[in-house]
Structure 1
Amino acid sequence: MSKVTISIDENKLEADFNNSNTAKALLEKFPLKLAMINLYSREMTYHFSKFIPAKKVKTSGYEVGDVGYWKSRHSFVIFYKQTGEVIGDLQIVGHINSDTSLLNAVGDTEVTFD
């Protein structure tokens, strides 16, 4: 596990990233500042222009606080609201251990990963 700090404005969220090849590929890009969009009022999303390795993708649900990579759209996501949806080609790369409720009031914004 790798500890990651996610900064949004003045707020900091703490996350643990797993040891998957996808998580490692993302960690190699850190520190990373991304212009993330608030999508479907359930997730913050960033679309990478290039593919990131993802060998363990599956169709699954998610938990509030999960950080994932959606292989189909090269998207890096932070899930902050549960809708019960099952998503295909999803690789969970980490989980935020802090309260994610602040994301309910955040629109599109820059997010920094360290």
Structure 2
Amino acid sequence: MRIRLTAGETVLNATLDDNATARDFASLLPLTLQMNELLEREKYGHLPRSLAAGGKPQFRYEVGNVVYWSPGPDIAVFYDHDGQSIPAPGIIILGEIDSGADAFKKYDGTVEVTVEAVD
């Protein structure tokens, strides 16, 4: 499934993975979240509920990953890489931004992000 993330004038397209967690995330769309800064590498926002398990937990990330952090429950978008690993219980990759994830660098602090299905 294709999704669109809109933050101010920034519009990014992404493709969700085919796993139960990503499909459950898609069932929440459209969704507008206040996304906060974390470690100058990611923006994260609190989801209205936990997502179904089904993706394999990862302890590494790549720029452009859209991920689920179950303790939040939060969604996060990685826009920079600091070489650090992710602590337990890890993240579940929901999908990947096509290009331009570094555009999130220009938003200091909190930014409102709308996520919607485009398919």
Under a length normalisation based on structure 1, what TM-score does the superposition of the two structures give?
0.91
Identity of aligned residues (%): 28
- 2-structure distance, mates of 1:70, 1:57: 12
Q: Which amino acid aligns with 1:97?
A: D
Matched positions, count: 113
Gaps of 5+ in 1: none
**Cα deviation per residue 1:39-67 (whole Å; 9 max; x = unaligned)?**
11110101225321123342420000000
* Bigger strand fraction: 1
Runs (4+) off by over 3 Å:
none
- 2-structure distance, mates of 1:41, 1:25: 28
Q: CA deviation at 1:6?
A: 0.6
RMSD over equivalenced CA pairs, Å: 1.3
Under a length normalisation based on structure 2, what TM-score does the superposition of the two structures give?
0.87
- 1-structure distance, mates of 2:46, 2:56: 17
The answer to whether the 8 A contact 1:33-1:110 is kept is: yes
Gaps of 5+ in 2: none
What does 1:1-114 correspond to in 2, within 5 Å?
2-87=1-86, 88=88, 89-107=90-108, 108-114=110-116
